[in-house]
């Protein structure tokens, strides 16, 4: 088994590859306790170089398939989406557009592509959170979508509180309040992008699946039923979904 392993900041990881979450991965499952830990331990940390775990991938067409670390990368994507929206509300469109590049950017064919694609929560994550022009679609939210919505609302509340704290000094002008809010958003954005991950890349799906069964660095323990479901899904192969097939057909 050939393994390439390097430590990288989130900024490098999100700008150097596109990622897909294969369906043998369990859906997004972080809850309030996980969000609170991530916010308090990672984003409000005063450390300059903060390590948050690993991401394990293998090559899948033009993208990298994630077998470990999807909870962290999905949460980071949600937080960046909240920061983007906050920039827009303050009128800093350039910063909002810059932040969106870590969520969605053009591929080599100049097609707008989400950096992180996931099949199980499609289309909720893409249209309601990742999209620059968020759309309120009428769908029945499943457990995963409810958790994603909860994460988005949790981090929106956290970031709004940080903005209000930065603007709360009495006797300052509205222009100064706005500038302080922008500076605090800059700090939060840069903190997210500076978080360090161990990036592990494997040659193929078989090796990755082996690692998937043994690696669980920070998330919930996998039940036997989870492993069985993942094994069966892997044997069935990728489902027919245009969102995933597009790059492989070209």
Residue 178 to residue 167: CA distance in whole angstroms = 7
C-alpha closest to that of 116 among 186, 40, 49, 55: 55
The reported pLDDT for the residue numbered 121 is: 85
| The pLDDT of residue 203 | 81
Per-residue pLDDT of the chain (250 residues; tens, 9 = 90+): 777 788 999 999 999 999 999 877 789 999 999 999 999 999 997 776 788 988 989 988 889 999 889 999 999 999 999 999 999 999 999 999 999 999 999 999 999 999 999 988 888 999 999 999 866 667 778 999 999 999 999 999 999 999 999 998 888 999 999 999 999 999 999 999 999 999 988 888 777 767 666 655 444 444 434 443 454 444 444 444 444 444 333 3
Rounded (10°) CA dihedral 16, 12, 51, 201: 20
pLDDT at residue 12 in the model: 97
29 φ/ψ angles, rounded to the nearest 5 degrees? -135, 0
> Helices marked H in 168-241 — which ranges?
174-194, 205-214, 224-236
Q: Write the DSSP assignment of 116-182 as a string of letters.
A: EEESTTTTHIIIIIISSS---------HHHHHHHHHHHHHHHHHHHHHHHHH--TT--HHHHHHHHH
Largest interatomic CA distance in the chain: 65
DSSP 8-state secondary structure symbol assigned to residue 228: H
Q: Measured at the alpha carbon of residue 78, what is the angle toward residues 221 and 163, in degrees to the nearest 5?
A: 125
Judged by DSSP in three states, 1 sits in coil
Query: Given this model, what pLDDT does residue 215 score?
Result: 57
Structure confidence at residue 171 (pLDDT):
87
> Using only C-alpha atoms, what is the Rg of the chain?
19
Distance CA 18, CA 114 (A): 7
Sign of the torsion angle spanned by Cα atoms 203, 205, 206, 212: positive
Query: What pLDDT sits at residue 249?
Result: 34
Q: How many beta carbons lie within 10 A of that of residue 43, not counting itself?
A: 19
């Amino acid at each position: 088994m050939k393994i390439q392993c390097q430590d990288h900041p989130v900024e490098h990881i999100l700008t150097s590859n596109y990622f897909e979450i294969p369906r043998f991965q369990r859906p997004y499952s972080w809850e309030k306790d996980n969000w609170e830990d991530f916010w308090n331990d990672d984003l409000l940390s005063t450390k300059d170089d903060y390590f948050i775990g690993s991401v394990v991938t293998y090559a899948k067409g033009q993208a990298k398939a994630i077998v470990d670390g999807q909870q962290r990368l999905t949460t980071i994507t949600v937080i960046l989406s909240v920061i983007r929206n906050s920039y827009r509300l303050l009128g800093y469109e350039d910063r909002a557009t810059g932040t969106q590049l870590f969520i969605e950017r053009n591929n080599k064919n100049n097609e707008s592509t989400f950096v992180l694609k996931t099949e199980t929560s499609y289309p909720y994550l893409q249209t309601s959170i990742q999209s620059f022009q968020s759309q309120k679609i009428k769908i029945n939210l499943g457990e995963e979508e409810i958790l994603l919505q909860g994460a988005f609302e949790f981090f929106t509340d956290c970031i709004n509180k940080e903005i209000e704290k930065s603007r709360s000094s009495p006797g300052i002008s509205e222009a100064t309040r706005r500038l302080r809010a922008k500076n605090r958003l800059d700090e939060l954005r840069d903190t997210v992008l500076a978080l360090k991950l161990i990036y592990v890349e494997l040659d193929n799906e078989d090796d990755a699946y082996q690692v998937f069964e043994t690696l669980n660095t920070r998330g919930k323990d996998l039940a036997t039923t989870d492993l069985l479901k993942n094994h069966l899904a892997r044997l069935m192969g990728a489902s027919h979904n245009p969102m995933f097939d597009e790059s492989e057909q070209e």
